[in-house]
Amino acid sequence: MNFSYLSHLDCPQCGETYDANDIQQLCVCGSPLLVRYKLDRVKQELKREDLLSRKADLWRYHELLPVSDPLNVVTLGEGMTPLLELPKLAEDYGITTLLMKDESLVPSCSFKARGAAVGVSKAKELGVRKLAMPTNGNAGAAWALYAARAGIEATIVMPLDAPKITRSEVALAGARLYLVNGLISDAGKIVAQEVGQNGLYDASTLKEPYRIEGKKTMGIEIAEQLGWEMPDVILYPTGGGVGLIGIYKALQELQEIGWVEGKLPRLVAVQAEGCAPIVKAWEEKAERSEFWPNSTTAAFGINVPKALGDFLVLKAIYETEGAAVAVSDEEMSVEQEKVARLEGAFICPEGAAAFAAARKLALAGWITEGERVVVLNTGAGIKYPESVQVNPPLLEVGEFISPIEQGK
Amino acid sequence: MNFSYLSHLDCPQCGETYDANDIQQLCVCGSPLLVRYKLDRVKQELKREDLLSRKADLWRYHELLPVSDPLNVVTLGEGMTPLLELPKLAEDYGITTLLMKDESLVPSCSFKARGAAVGVSKAKELGVRKLAMPTNGNAGAAWALYAARAGIEATIVMPLDAPKITRSEVALAGARLYLVNGLISDAGKIVAQEVGQNGLYDASTLKEPYRIEGKKTMGIEIAEQLGWEMPDVILYPTGGGVGLIGIYKALQELQEIGWVEGKLPRLVAVQAEGCAPIVKAWEEKAERSEFWPNSTTAAFGINVPKALGDFLVLKAIYETEGAAVAVSDEEMSVEQEKVARLEGAFICPEGAAAFAAARKLALAGWITEGERVVVLNTGAGIKYPESVQVNPPLLEVGEFISPIEQGK
């Protein structure tokens, strides 16, 4: 038994293959690369039951992850997040079974930890000493923290408007932090220049092949948590779209090793009305998206005007007969409060977008009676303090709650 | 097999017993009550191996929890948090094995979720419709969220200086929120008046018996994660002290059912120099603490000038030959950064206090060669954005990182 059944990398665009023992970034054709495994051997040598005695983190799937030597695993205990039934919200939406995959319960309180854990571990295995990346905040925070644990120097560039707390995370981890008075695409240009000049490892979204592998564990976990069954629909808030690509890849791999059977879930990419390039492309039945000018949304993590992996996201949607849905910031805000009031979860605006989309798709009859629906909440609401306005009454010492207040 | 092996409640001060099927608050003698189980039957009927196929949350220990009917369980997926090795920090401290029990990976990102999950579940089982509590922020946030999920109305009173994000959590959950221009003890008076006038369930620390049961699962998890061995030392940041009382109770129960053997770990209560009533009492070998006047510390969660359960905390320390240690806010701040830079974890100030104490106790020789030490990080650093100051360089679009900056 190997720790990893890693085989090689290949290009989903031109088919070129690459050696996974060397540092690889994009394909020569410009496409992101995908990681391939010896799935026939996994099928023969690994049984689902083998997982039972393993720790409840994403490394329980190490055969399907790209790190060859367990000594290179850089972990903060990420993965195996709750898959929670939300019965009151389900009733409100008119959905038979509504489940939340709650990615707030990971290090740094955002699902970016999964990509960072696997990406940084593999970077360590490949001998990387310095990496750089642009970020909308949460990914940079996660990569900076895991890089610190790995002893890798990180350079992080984020928009001025990115969630402020992520600055603290990056700085406290000892990474080099820069702000840019622009968008993540502007941060990307700064990183590209820095990478080119100083020979850093480019950890930008999909410019290294391993972040997807971390994200795909969400898909494996959903299957395991449902007793190796697949749900009917999975909704995912989509910026760069790595999670959606990863979940799709995971479920295909699980099919290939015989751990799940039947039809794949319909995958739904959820975007903000102020930044909806994937939705536009899907509506036009296009294979790729176009740059979305002057993008804006309170759900900062999905403010990505043009994703490098757009064609992979769209392929996953088309092949699973999924959909792409845009929601307004107002709808997110309403849904964020609804989820907290009914189910006690303080979700992030991006997660709220996915819930708002679930409501819309149920109302439109796209989600039907008897279906099992999984919504990804990609992070904790507490990382976005400005998303909630609150002005509670202030009492002085010696004052008590007045009967008028009590009647509220 | 029962879901719970709950037996009754008893008073650790006067020995009086109470029926656990009715709502109980404090003992008539004024002491908190403790929950007792039919441990002889648990010993006969439950094996450690039975846990293996259960979910990775604290309800895997349901036989040792007070909720009788699984339908009353109110869960957001709390528990089975990582127990992480911190090798670089261990070397820095001169400790052989240093482990962090990371309680940032729970709903609401603070260990208060454990007490809230079990406390609210049992309140629901007992038919409670309305509850009230004073809080330093995180407990109120957790109870408000779990109460929302349970359909229970919560009234939460917190100091004006409590972490602001906890206001958002409470408000978003739909709870009644009040601020007081004072300390948690002042909030307590407001709650007491409200409870008395309106017949609410008093969910104040230790005024209901079930919060301890949630917190004790940290102790069970530590034992399970170490393969049913106990560490040599456990350090715990101590405000109300419920976690320390709970861990002590857990390990005693595990001994009684034969799941762990040998000497209990030395339990260490860590406080801030600006609020150290337990440390003062321990130094004076007293059984109880005195009210600490004008208490102040940046670690807001441990700003508790007089804990109702002080005698239980002190008993746990004395009986395990533990200690009580105070650290300065400056020491916490230094340690918070150290943990992030070396190990990639952004811990809360209270957790940082416990790490600072570990460093002191190693330096003093109180922790010795070969010992295995567990430090509790009670929450995520991101709930305390003001604990980190950061002023990164700002670039305009079109600007790049300058060579001078690169050399930093």
Give the total number of structural domains in chain A. 1
Q: Model confidence at B406, in pLDDT bands (50, 70, 90)?
A: low
The mean of the pLDDT values for chain A is 96
Bigger pLDDT: A288 vs B404: A288
Which of B98, B108, B160, B118 lies closest to B139, judged by CA?
B108
Report the length, in residues, of chain A: 408
**pLDDT band for position B405 (50/70/90)?**
low
Residues of A in contact with B385 (CB under 8 A): 164-165, 168, 385
Residues pairing with B270 in the sheet:
B237, B325
List the strands of the sheet with A97-102, edge to edge: A83-85, A97-102, A372-377, A233-237, A266-272, A323-327
Instruction: Write down the residue that tokens 């390039």 correspond to.
Output: A277
Contact: A392, B179; criterion CB under 8 Å: yes
B152-178 residues labelled b (16+ CB within 10 A) or e (exposed): bbbbbbbbebbbebbbbbbbbbbbbbb
Set of chain A residues whose Cβ sits within 8 Å of the Cβ of B355: none
Domain assignment present for residue A242? The answer is yes
What value of ipTM does the predicted structure carry?
A: 0.96
Q: How confident is the model at residue A386 (pLDDT cuts 50, 70, 90)?
A: confident
Instruction: Indicate yes or no: CB of A394 within 8 angstroms of CB of B82.
Output: no
A399 → chain B, closest CA residue: B190
Residues of A in contact with B343 (CB under 8 A): 148-149
pLDDT digits (tens, 9 = 90+) for B229-252: 999 999 999 999 999 999 999 999
User: In chain A, whose CA is at the least distance from the CA of B145?
Assistant: A344
Q: In the structure encoding, which two tokens stand for residue A294, read together?
A: 């002057």
Provide the pLDDT confidence category of residue A407 given band limits of 50, 70 and 90.
Answer: very low
Question: Could you tell me which residues come within 8 angstroms of residue A29 by beta carbon, excluding any fewer than 6 positions away?
Answer: A11, A13, A14, A16
Read off the CATH number of the domain in which B249 is found.
Answer: 3.40.50.1100
In the 8-state DSSP scheme, what is residue B133? Answer: E
Find the mean pLDDT for residues B78-99: 98
- Over residues A200-215, the pLDDT tens digits come to 999 999 999 999 999 9
Q: Is A25 exposed, middle or buried (0-12, 13-18, 19+ CB in 10 A)?
A: middle
pLDDT attached to residue B402: 84
Between A402 and A112, the higher pLDDT residue: A112
CB contacts under 8 A, A 91-120 vs B, are 102, 104-109
Three-state SS across A72-87?
Answer: HCCCCCCCCCCEEECH
The whole-number pLDDT of residue B404 equals 59
B140 interaction partners in chain A (CB closer than 8 Å): none
Element (H, E) at B323: strand B323-327
**Portion of chain B with pLDDT greater than 70, in percent:** 99
Q: Select from A52, A160, A340 the Cβ nearest to the Cβ of B53.
A: A52
Strand order through the sheet with B153-159: A394-395, B176-180, B153-159, B130-134, B201-202
Give every strand in the sheet of B17-18, ordered side by side: B17-18, B6-10, B34-37
CB neighbour list of residue A212: distance below 8 Å, 6 or more residues apart: A32, A34, A35, A115, A206, A242, A245, A246, A249
Contact B179 A341 (CB under 8 A): no
| Nearest-CB residue to A343 (from B149, B396, B408) | B149
What are the φ/ψ torsions at residue A243 (nearest 5 degrees)? -65, -40
Could you tell me which of A161, A158, A125, A127 has the C-alpha nearest to residue A142? A158
Mutate to test the interface with B, among A89, A178, A346 (most CBs of B within 10 A): A346
Residue in this structure with the two tokens 């000892």, named with its chain if needed: A174
CB contact under 8 A, A102 and B76: yes
Cβ atoms of residues B358 and B366 within 8 Å: no
> Which of these, B267, B253, B255, lies nearest to B213 by C-alpha position?
B253
In a domain, A34, yes or no: no
- Rounded to the nearest 5°, which phi and psi values hold at A257? -90, 5
Q: Is 50 exceeded by the pLDDT of residue A309?
A: yes
* pLDDT recorded at residue A51: 95
**Cα separation, B154 vs B176, whole angstroms:** 6
What mean pLDDT is predicted for residues B386-405?
87
Answer for the pair A352, A297: CB distance below 8 angstroms, yes or no: no
Q: What is the percent of chain B with per-residue pLDDT over 90, rounded to a whole number?
A: 96
Could you tell me the two tokens for B130? 């309305």
Q: What is the pLDDT of residues B279-327, one digit of tens each?
A: 999 999 999 999 999 999 999 999 999 999 999 999 999 999 999 999 9
Position A154 in a domain: no
B contacts of A345 (beta carbons < 8 Å): 76, 107, 145, 149
> Count of alpha carbons within 13 Å of A307, Cβ hemisphere only?
32
Q: Is residue A404's pLDDT more than 80?
A: no
Candidates A193, A71, A62, A214; CA nearest to A134 is A193
CA distance A82 to A86: 12
The answer to whether A51 faces chain B, any CB pair under 8 Å, is no
Residue A1 has pLDDT above 90, yes or no: no
The SS3 assignment for A35 reads: strand
Across the interface, whether the CB atoms of B400 and A193 are under 8 A apart is answered yes
Measure the CA–CA gap between B44 and B5, rounded to whole angstroms. 12
| Average pLDDT score over residue span A95-103 | 98
User: Is 90 exceeded by the pLDDT of residue B96?
Assistant: yes
- Domain membership of residue B324 (yes or no) is yes
Cβ partners under 8 Å of residue A310, min gap 6: A241, A277, A278, A281, A288, A289
Instruction: Report the b/e string of B58-67 with b at 16+ CB within 10 A.
Output: bbbbbbbbbb
Domain assignment present for residue B404? The answer is no
**Identity of residue A328:** S
Q: Is A394 part of a structural domain of the chain?
A: no
Sheet with strand B233-237: strands edge to edge = B83-85, B97-102, B372-377, B233-237, B266-272, B323-327
pLDDT (0 to 100) of residue A403? 73
Q: Does residue A405 carry a pLDDT above 70?
A: no
Q: Residue B50, SS3? A: helix
pLDDT at A408: 45
Per the prediction, chain B carries an average pLDDT of 96
Mean pLDDT confidence for A262-287: 98
In a domain, B64, yes or no: no
Query: Would you call B173 and A344 a contact, using CB atoms and an 8 Å cutoff?
Result: yes
A198 and B406: CB-CB below 8 Å? yes
pLDDT digits (tens, 9 = 90+) for B43-71: 999 999 999 889 999 999 999 999 999 99
Q: What is the rounded CA–CA span in Å between residue A269 and residue A277?
A: 11
Residues paired with residue A85 on neighbouring β-strands, in sequence order:
A99
Spatial distance between the Cα atoms of A155 and A257, rounded to a whole number of angstroms: 38
Cross-chain residue pair B147–A380, CB shorter than 8 Å: no
User: In this structure, what is the dihedral angle of CA atoms A314, A317, A321, A325, given to the nearest 10 degrees?
Assistant: -100
- The DSSP result for B195-228, as a single string, is HHHHT-EE-STTTSTTHHHHHHHHHHHHHHHTTS
Per the CB < 8 Å rule, is B180 touching A383?
A: no
Task: Using a CB–CB cutoff of 8 Å, tell me whether A200 touches chain B.
Answer: no
Residue A146 lies in a domain: no
Residue A377 touches chain B, beta carbons under 8 Å:
no
Q: What is the DSSP letter of B71?
A: G
Range of the domain at B97: 83-109+212-385
Q: Is the pLDDT of residue B154 over 60?
A: yes
